[in-house]
């Protein structure tokens, strides 16, 4: 905390999520907000669909943090069939920004201005309207980008606003080098004040899981939101449907939920796969890896998957596609196997390379956990909290980003 005239003053920090769901991208800001609140700083959270039952959100409430729901109007719209067209992502974002503007104005009557607003993006440009609002209100902000994908290029109509959001941020945080590089390519500009940040994880940093029995075959875990467009579960199902994989003692557990669960379950049934099961959502991640031998991640788009970090720390190898930051943590044949592209043939080839070395999985997994601990901190959220405090504690050079914008 900042010292002034012999006493410490708490910082006022706001976290705004531009994501309408709760996924891996929410864990960083939530855990960081808890770390800051526990250190005595004044934290406010703004999110559409704020889950009051989530552990971090409950903890924030217990610490008397401000919890602000941005989505009641959009939920009402979603219940009215004749207004269903208004429930599009753009309309929901517009309503959320309007709610954010209203709540910020009300808060000004009770609290001093925020030292910084941390905008957490599920992707790499969905939070730019929030950044534009911060600039209009004269609030310093920082952007966190959790994913960049060739599947989601920004519209030409919004490129100028998106470029401005990055240009005027006090800091730009990316979860992988790939996310930063593709973002710069998509907006056609270098992103200044950029650095990497890691997501927190839900397994022990220094205690890999014991190797499970393989008497009834090897078990892969495919962990993530059930969304075939980005997560590629359909690719894995098609590969498993080949005669070669049907004949092998290998099974896959799909862990997670999402809007395409029924479709993927029906695809598995259509392909007559009896070696897969859908386990839904589980919070005991460590227990899951205690019963599985490797991670299968057939994604078409990623940032730096939390599930990849959790699997490696648990002492498991990973079979992944070369998307997002996957290859930044893995080395082919050393701690995992990398499919060159999110295609059935490439995924099949990577699985085959892994299968041919299945007797080494235990040793490779143990080495993977040791290797990863040299690359990631034990508590990423506390580290990010410290970086945010450094950010607000350092004076702006010649004024805030908003003041620079006004002059230029």
Write the CA distances from 85 to 74, 82, 386, integer angstroms: 11, 8, 43
What integer pLDDT is reported at residue 181 of this predicted model?
97
Count of residues for the chain?
Answer: 408
Write the CA distances from 399 to 139, 394, 408, integer angstroms: 12, 12, 12
Please, where are the H alpha helices in 271-343?
Answer: 285-289, 306-313, 326-329
Q: Is the dihedral of CA 95, 97, 98, 100 positive or negative?
A: positive
Q: What is the mean pLDDT of residues 381-404?
A: 69
- Residues 6 or more apart in contact with residue 187 via CB below 8 angstroms: 125, 154, 159, 162, 163, 166
Q: Where are the beta strands (DSSP E) in 140-209?
A: 141-145, 171-174, 194-196
> What are residue 13's DSSP bridge partners?
43, 116
> Rounded distance, CA 65 to CA 48, Å?
17
3-39 as b/e, with b when 16 or more CB fall inside 10 Å? eeeeeeeebbbbbbbbbbebbbbbbbbbbbbbbbbee
Per the model's pLDDT, the better-predicted residue between 3 and 146 turns out to be: 146
Residue 341 has pLDDT above 80, yes or no: yes
Q: What is the DSSP letter of 332?
A: B
CA angle, 310 as apex, 309 and 316 as ends, to 5°? 95
- pLDDT tens digits for range 252-297: 999 999 999 999 999 999 999 999 999 999 889 999 999 999 999 9
What integer pLDDT is reported at residue 89 of this predicted model?
62
- pLDDT tens digits for range 129-166: 899 989 988 899 999 999 999 888 998 988 999 999 99
- pLDDT tens digits for range 44-98: 999 988 888 889 999 999 999 999 988 755 444 444 444 444 455 666 667 667 7
pTM of the model: 0.86
- pLDDT tens digits for range 102-130: 777 666 655 568 999 999 999 999 999 89
Q: Is the dihedral of CA 249, 302, 256, 329 positive or negative?
A: positive
What integer pLDDT is reported at residue 336 of this predicted model?
95
What integer pLDDT is reported at residue 394 of this predicted model?
54
What does the mean pLDDT of the chain come to? 88
What integer pLDDT is reported at residue 396 of this predicted model?
45
Q: Where are the beta strands (DSSP E) in 109-182?
A: 116-121, 141-145, 171-174
What integer pLDDT is reported at residue 91 of this predicted model?
63
Q: What is the mean pLDDT of residues 356-361?
A: 97
Please, where are the H alpha helices in 7-127?
Answer: 24-38, 55-62, 72-78, 89-107
What integer pLDDT is reported at residue 167 of this predicted model?
97
What integer pLDDT is reported at residue 280 of this predicted model?
93
Q: What is the mean pLDDT of residues 23-49?
A: 93
> Rounded distance, CA 125 to CA 296, Å?
28
């Amino acid at each position: 905390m900042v010292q002034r005239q012999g006493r410490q003053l708490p910082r006022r920090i706001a976290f705004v999520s531009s994501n309408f769901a709760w996924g891996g991208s929410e864990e960083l800001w939530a855990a960081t907000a808890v770390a800051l609140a526990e250190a005595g700083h004044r934290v406010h959270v703004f999110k559409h669909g704020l889950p009051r039952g989530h552990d971090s959100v409950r903890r924030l409430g217990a610490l008397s943090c401000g919890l602000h729901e941005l989505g009641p109007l959009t939920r009402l719209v979603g219940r009215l069939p004749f207004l269903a067209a208004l429930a599009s992502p753009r309309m929901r974002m517009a309503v959320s920004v309007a709610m954010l503007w209203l709540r910020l104005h009300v808060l000004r009557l009770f609290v001093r201005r925020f030292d910084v607003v941390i905008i957490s993006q599920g992707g790499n440009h969905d939070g730019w309207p929030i950044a534009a609002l911060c600039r209009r209100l004269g609030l310093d902000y920082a952007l966190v980008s959790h994913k960049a994908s060739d599947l989601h290029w920004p519209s030409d109509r919004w490129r100028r606003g998106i470029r401005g959001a990055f240009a005027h941020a006090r800091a730009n945080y990316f979860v992988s080098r790939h996310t930063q590089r593709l973002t710069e390519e998509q907006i056609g500009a270098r992103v200044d004040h950029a650095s990497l940040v890691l997501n927190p994880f839900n397994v022990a940093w220094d205690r890999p899981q014991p190797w499970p029995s393989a008497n009834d075959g090897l078990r892969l875990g495919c962990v993530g939101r059930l969304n075939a467009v980005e997560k590629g579960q359909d690719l894995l199902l098609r590969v498993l449907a080949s005669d070669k994989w049907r004949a092998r003692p290998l099974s896959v557990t799909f862990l997670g939920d999402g809007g395409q669960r029924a479709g993927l379950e029906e695809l598995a049934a259509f392909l007559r796969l009896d070696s897969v099961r859908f386990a839904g959502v589980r919070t005991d991640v460590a227990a899951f890896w205690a019963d599985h031998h490797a991670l299968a991640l057939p994604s078409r788009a990623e940032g730096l998957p939390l599930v990849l970090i959790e699997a490696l720390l648990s002492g498991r190898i990973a079979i992944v596609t070369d998307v997002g930051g996957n290859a930044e943590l893995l080395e082919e044949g050393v701690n995992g196997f990398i499919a060159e592209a999110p295609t059935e043939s490439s995924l099949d080839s990577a699985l085959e390379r892994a299968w041919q070395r299945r007797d080494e999985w235990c040793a490779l997994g143990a080495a993977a956990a040791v290797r990863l601990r040299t690359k990631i901190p034990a508590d990423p959220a506390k580290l990010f909290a410290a970086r945010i405090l450094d950010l607000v504690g350092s004076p702006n050079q010649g004024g805030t980003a908003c003041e620079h914008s006004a002059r230029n």
